[in-house]
């Protein structure tokens, strides 16, 4: 079985404990329970990871440089995605290390976007980190947020 993406890979692993799984394009396979380690995945799954959670610290660093006059940044992340929590925690750790207040809002579905943005707007931050995730790239109707 060759699932592509974190959500499909986690679902495949949950449903099949003996069929070999070679996943493509997942976040952190260890944090999502797909592998025991990168060098020795163990179990019945192995594959290719983008491990973009490491990008979270870089995004906080860029936000800090762009937002030097303020000590707060906003963060929007996808709660219904297996790698969303990992990216949120990485962002939170990076913000704490940089002594920044993180005003974070998670959404499970694109329909929650407007209310999430309204909730974080009063924070006073001029910066919004939007974590890369399936919800930020594709809409249910197939259109893209990147327009």
- 52 or 3, greater pLDDT: 3
Residues forming a β-bridge with 128: 74
Question: How far is the C-alpha of 31 from the C-alpha of 54, rounded, in Å?
Answer: 13
Inform me whether the pLDDT recorded for 147 exceeds 50: no
Domain total for the chain? Answer: 2
In a domain, 71, yes or no: yes
Per-residue confidence at 62, pLDDT binned at 50, 70, 90?
confident
**66 and 113 co-located in one domain:** yes
In a domain, 142, yes or no: no
Residues forming a β-bridge with 144: 138
**101 and 32 co-located in one domain:** no
- 124 or 118, greater pLDDT: 118
What's the CATH number where 61 sits?
3.40.50.2300
Mean pLDDT of 17-23: 89
Helices (H), 67-99: 84-97
Question: How far is the C-alpha of 127 from the C-alpha of 69, rounded, in Å?
Answer: 11
**98 and 61 co-located in one domain:** yes
**46 and 76 co-located in one domain:** no
Per-residue confidence at 144, pLDDT binned at 50, 70, 90?
very low
**86 and 46 co-located in one domain:** no
- 141 or 124, greater pLDDT: 124
Q: Which helix (H) or strand (E) holds 102?
A: strand 101-107
Give the pLDDT confidence of 29-61 residue by residue, as tens digits: 888 888 888 778 888 888 888 766 677 888 888
Q: Which residues contact 147 (CB under 8 A, 6 or more apart)?
A: none
Per-residue confidence at 92, pLDDT binned at 50, 70, 90?
very high
Helices (H), the chain: 6-15, 55-66, 84-97, 113-120, 134-137
Enter the pTM of the model: 0.67
What is the reported pLDDT for 138? 60
Inform me whether the pLDDT recorded for 143 exceeds 60: no
In a domain, 147, yes or no: no
Burial of 40 (0-12, 13-18, 19+ CB in 10 A): exposed
What is the reported pLDDT for 145? 46
List the domain range (segments joined by +) for residue 18: 6-50
In a domain, 145, yes or no: no
**33 and 57 co-located in one domain:** no
What is the reported pLDDT for 107? 92
Question: What's the residue count for the chain?
Answer: 147
Of 82, 76, 106, 102, residue with least CA distance to 31: 82
**103 and 39 co-located in one domain:** no
**69 and 104 co-located in one domain:** yes
């Amino acid at each position: 079985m060759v699932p592509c993406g974190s959500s499909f890979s986690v679902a495949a692993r949950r449903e099949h404990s003996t069929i070999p799984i070679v996943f493509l394009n997942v976040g952190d396979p260890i944090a999502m329970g797909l592998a025991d380690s990168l060098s020795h995945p163990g179990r019945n799954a192995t594959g290719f990871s983008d491990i973009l959670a490491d990008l979270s610290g870089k995004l906080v660093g860029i936000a800090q440089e762009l937002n030097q006059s303020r000590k707060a940044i906003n963060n929007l992340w996808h709660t219904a995605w297996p790698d969303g929590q990992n990216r949120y925690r990485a962002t939170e750790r990076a913000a704490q290390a940089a002594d920044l207040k993180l005003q974070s809002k998670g959404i499970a579905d694109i329909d929650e976007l407007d209310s999430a943005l309204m909730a974080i707007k009063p924070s006073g931050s001029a910066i919004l980190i939007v974590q890369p995730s399936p919800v930020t790239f594709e809409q249910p109707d197939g259109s893209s947020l990147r327009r």
